[in-house]
Amino acid sequence: QAEDARVAQIPRYVRVNTALWSTDDAVSWYSSHGYTLSAPLLSERGFDKDEHIPDLLRFHPRVTFHEDECYKRGKIILQDKASCFPAVVLNPPVSEHAVVIDATAAPGNKTSHLSALMQGKGKLFAFERDRKRYQTLTRMLSKAGCKNVTPLNIDFLTIDPESEPYSAATHILLDPSCSGSGIVNRLDYLLDTEENDLQGEDDRLSKLAAFQLMMINHAMKFPRVQCIVYSTCSIHATENEHVVREALSGNPHFGMAPPEGVLSSWTRRGIPEECACPEHAQSMLRCMPGEDFTNGFFVSCFAKAAEPTAIEE
Ligand code: SAM
């Protein structure tokens, strides 16, 4: 019952795929196809622009888009608001020389978002180790018209960080498998989360945390990397602040990114008591289902430090 109430207040988020058209064009399209610019939670025909995420529209929770012409043609992506945070926080470069990695890509919502933010320029390598999910990823990327993405059916952990062309990566997005404990509205996450991660043994959180840490440690080995965004759709500190804490303590050449670059308009930050230093929480974002009109989510942003950073105990 309580879960239903939380789902009912989550708008139907629609990300405009700016690789194929503009947000202004999308607003005109929906305005001339039965919707009006007005509060979407008050009327089934209302829609508006999200206040935090550019190119994100909000519709009434009961509106479905699976038969929508724009959805079928890849012009809109059905993606929860919180799941749009990581690409925006990573803020990938827009340049023909850009090299960016999406380490855990399928089904590809964040990959297509990154590609759109890069305006189709440079190179975006998208790793996915699972064969079936990789096929979903390639379908998604072609439907979304992503021009600068190379999808790879390879385990990110097997990539030598010093090898060409990956050694040139300056920005890495890490959205690895997690418990999925923040998900209340499964519509957006059916494909995002692997089935077997939703069940499991008692110690699965610590196993997941060990895997998540291994992925961050690997990302931090890329010689030119400047910025790493680590995200989960979990609400457990074990998979979130604690993993960040461990990553920082093992990698003194990384620190937290300046908070003002981490979606400063979003007020719910990390949990200070769960961090190595309370101020690190300012470089993390959290979403609480039932309170933020989204599913539960966590985002953190690491930056390469000029000098090794000492962790205060
Ligand atoms: N970022 C995706 C999106 O927004 O559409 C969702 C990613 S999902 C939470 C995690 C994905 O990482 C799964 O598809 C999983 O198969 C993949 N994965 C897990 N470990 C991996 C590894 N070592 N290398 C590459 N992919 C991996």
Domain ranges of the chain: 10-78, 83-304
Token pair belonging to 24? 């202004």
Ligand 1 center–CA 160 separation, angstroms: 18
Catalytic residues: 233
Q: Where are the alpha helices (DSSP H) in 59-203?
A: 69-72, 81-90, 109-117, 131-143
155 is an annotated ligand-binding site residue = yes
128 is an annotated ligand-binding site residue = yes
Place of tokens 């979903």: 136
Strand-strand pairing, 56-59 and 46-49:
antiparallel
Contact between 255 and 303 (Cβ < 8 Å) = yes
Strand-strand pairing, 297-304 and 227-232:
antiparallel
Read out DSSP for 158-190? GS-TTSTTGGG--EEEE------TT-S-GGGTT
pLDDT tens digits, one per residue of 151-183: 999 999 999 999 999 999 999 999 999 999 999
Nearest CA to ligand 1 atom 1: 105
ipTM of this predicted complex?
Answer: 0.99
Q: Is the pLDDT of residue 196 over 90?
A: no
CA distance 266 to 311: 26
pLDDT tens digits, one per residue of 4-48: 777 778 999 999 999 999 999 999 999 999 999 988 877 899 999
Taking the chain, what is the end-to-end CA distance rounded to the nearest angstrom? 42
Q: Is 60 helix (H, G, I), strand (E, B) or coil?
A: coil
- CA angle (42 as vertex; 46, 34 as ends), nearest 5: 20
Ligand 1 site residues (CB inside 6 A) read 83, 104-110, 127-130, 133, 155-157, 175-177, 192-194
Place of tokens 């920082």: 248
Contact between 140 and 131 (Cβ < 8 Å) = no
Fold of 10-78: Alpha-Beta Plaits (3.30.70)
Q: Is 264 helix (H, G, I), strand (E, B) or coil?
A: coil
Q: Is the pLDDT of residue 77 over 80?
A: yes
Range 83-304 has CATH code 1.25.40.10: no
178 CB-near residues (< 8 Å, 6+ apart): 193, 197, 208, 212, 232, 233, 234, 239
* pTM recorded for the entire structure: 0.94
Q: Which of 71, 47, 68 is nearest to 58 (CA)?
A: 47
Contact between 92 and 60 (Cβ < 8 Å) = no
Q: Is the pLDDT of residue 216 over 60?
A: yes
CA distance 92 to 90: 6
pLDDT tens digits, one per residue of 81-128: 999 999 999 999 999 999 999 999 999 999 999 999 999 999 999 999
Task: State residue 197's pLDDT score.
Answer: 47
pLDDT tens digits, one per residue of 255-308: 999 999 999 999 999 999 999 999 999 999 999 988 999 999 999 999 998 765
Task: State residue 198's pLDDT score.
Answer: 47
Mean pLDDT of the chain: 92
Q: What is the pLDDT confidence band of residue 203, given thresholds at 50, 70 and 90?
A: confident
Contact between 280 and 303 (Cβ < 8 Å) = no
Ligand 1 center–CA 128 separation, angstroms: 6
More confident call, 62 vs 4: 62
